[in-house]
Chains A and B, each alone.
Chain A
Amino acid sequence: MKTLIVEIIEPKRLGELVTVSKEFCDTPDIVALGAGDVPGVYNKAWQTEETISANLVPAIAELIQKEEYQVVLFSASTVGAGLAGPVAAKLSASVVSEVIGIEPDLVVRRPMYGGKAVATYKITATPAILTIRRKYFEPAELEGTTAAETLTIAEPLVSLIAEKQEKSEGVPLEDAEVVVSGGRGMGGPDNFSMLQEMAEILKGAVGASRGAVDEGWAAPTLQIGQTGKIVAPGVYFAVGISGASQHLAGIANAKCVVAINKDEEANIFKRARFGIIADYKKIMPALNNVLREE
C-alpha cells in the first residue's frame, strides 16, 4: 500500500513512523517538516520548513490526493493532531488516532477510556490516516539521507510570533514522564540527592510522599497524592513509600510504578508493576551507576 509519512525532522519520531510504515509498504514516501537534511531512505521526499499544521493542511491533502496514498502516518503530536482531522475531512478519509498496535489488513488498535480499554478497528476505506502514539514502536535506524523536493505552501494563514522551549532540566512534576519519589523510608533529607541524580539523568522530576514532606525532607510543592500534586508519568519510582491510598490517589494514572521498599507487605507493591524488596540505599546508587554509564 502506498504510504506517506508526515513528520517533523527528528530521528526518533521519524524512526517510529518508518517502523510503522513497514507494516504497509517497503519504503514510504515522506513529507519532512523543518530545516536540515531528511534522514533515512524514502521513495520520494518533500520538505518544508513550515511546522504549523493549519498552514500545511491544503498542501498535504492535495499531495495525498495527487499521489493516491492509501496510508498516511502522523505521530500523535501537536502537528499530527492538527493535521489528521482537517486532512481527513478534506479527503473524506478514515482516521484513527493514537494508534498503539498494527495488524495486517489495516487492522489497528487504540486505547480508550484513559487506557482502561483497547479497541480494535478495521479500516475499510482508504486513504487511511493514522496518528501513532509515541513510544509504542521501536524507532527504525535511519541511515543516510534523502534529497527532498520543496513542498510549496500557499500563503500561510497562521503566523508564528514566538516559540519557547522548556528547559530540559526542571521538568514540571505534573508533566514529567519519569517521576522519582521518596517517602519517609528515605530516613533523612540527604539521600534525596540520589533521587535528584536519577531524575536528572532520565529527564524526570523528583516527587515526595507526605511522609517525607512532613519530615521536612522535601518541599511541600513536591508532595504527590490526594493533597498534593496529581501526576501521570510513564514510570513512577516509589522509594521508601508505603503506598497509602491518599498517596496512590496522586498516581492513579501513572503507567508503570516501580516500588523500592524493604517491607514486602507494603501496600505500594499492590500498585506496582515492578517491585524490589530491599533497602533503597543499596538499589539507588546501583541504578544511578548503570544510568550514568549509559
Chain B
Amino acid sequence: MHIAVLAKVVPDYEVPAGDFELSDNRAHSRYTRMMGLYDENAIETGVQLKEKYSASLTIISYGAEDDIPVLRKAIAMGAEKLVLVTGQSDDASVIAANLKMAIDNLGDVDLILAGQQSADMDRGVVHGTLAEMLGLTFIPQVSKIESENGGWKISQLTETGSRDLQFNGKGVFSITSIPENVPRIPAVRAIFAAKKKPVEKVAEVESNAMGIEEVSVEIPTMDSVCEFLPVEDVGETVKTLLTKLREERYL
C-alpha cells in the first residue's frame, strides 16, 4: 500500500489578530512558516495507517524550496520521502494539476490524504479538484480510516454527527482533527534520519487557472472595542444584547 499525504507550508496561523499584517495581499513574510494545522492531522493519520498496514508513505507538497526544512518535520513524523513541486500559484486548479503530476509520477499511490483545509487560504478545494483530475473518489472531513477486504471503511464527521462509509478502490480523503490524530512529536532520532531521507524536487507544469481574479485582500477593522450596554433596565439590556448578537449573526 502506498499512501501519499498532501502538505502545505503556511505562515503562522496563530498570529494574534492585533499583530496581523499583510504585504502584497498575503500574510507578511515576517511570520514563521509552519505546516498547516489540518495537514499535520493528515500526516499523523497517514503515519498511523502506515504503521498499521505496513504501507509506505510519501509527502507531497506544492510550494517553495525554502519550505523544505519545515517539510522535513513531516518526514520525521514517519514518511519515507518528500516530493516538492516548486511553484507559487494560489489557484486551486493549478495546484491540483501539479499535485496530480507528482502523484502520476509516483505511479502506485493507493490513498491520498490531505488536511481538511489549508491554514492560510482556508479553502478546502484543492483536494476535491485533485480527486476529480485523478478520477478518484473524494470524501471530505474524514476522521477514521480502516482498510477492509480490499476496500475502505471510513468515518466522516458531519454537521450533525458522523457517518460510517464504505467503498472500494482508490480515493482522496480530506482529514479533520480528532483527538486520535493529534500530530506526534517526532523523536529526535527521526529528525536526524529525516535529514537523510530523499527530497525530490519537481518543476511545476503549465496548467490553466480558474477564472477568478483577486480584487483585494483586507484586514477587517476589528471592532474589538467593547460596546458597553446600558444597564438601567436589565430587561432592556438583555434584549438589546440578544438582538445585536443575532444581527451580527453570532447567534
Interface residues, chain A, with chain B CB atoms under 8 Å away? 52-54, 57, 77-78, 81-90, 92-98, 107, 111-126, 135-136, 157-166, 178, 202, 234-235, 252, 255-256, 258-259, 269-278, 282-283, 286-287, 289-291
Contact = CB atoms under 8 A, between A and B. Distances in A.
Nearest to A114: B13
Interface of B: 11, 13-17, 20, 22, 25, 27, 92-93, 96, 119-133, 137-141, 153, 156-167, 169, 174, 208, 210-220, 223-224, 226-229, 231, 234-235, 237-239, 241-242, 244-245, 248-251
Contacts, number: 244
A235 B251 contact: yes
Contact of B165 (A136, A160, A276): A160
18 contacts: A57-B138, A78-B158, A85-B126, A86-B132, A93-B210, A113-B27, A116-B20, A121-B214, A124-B211, A157-B169, A159-B166, A161-B165, A163-B162, A255-B250, A274-B228, A274-B241, A278-B234, A290-B239
A160 B164 CA distance: 6
Contacts of A57: 132, 138
A277 B231 contact: yes
Nearest to B179: A174
Contacts of B217: 112, 117-120
- Dominant secondary structure of chain B at its interface with chain A: mixed
B226 A54 contact: no
Contacts of A136: 249
B128 A273 contact: no
Contact of A77 (B159, B174, B218): B159
A166 B160 CA distance: 6
A114 B140 contact: no
Contact of A125 (B140, B210, B224, B228): B210
| Residue of A78, A88, A124, A286 contacting most chain B CB atoms (<10 Å) | A78
A163 B215 contact: no
A93 B13 CA distance: 29
Contact of A113 (B13, B93, B156, B164): B13
B242 A290 contact: yes
Which A-B residue pairs are the 9 nearest by beta carbons? A85-B128, A125-B211, A89-B132, A86-B132, A256-B250, A85-B129, A158-B167, A124-B211, A120-B215
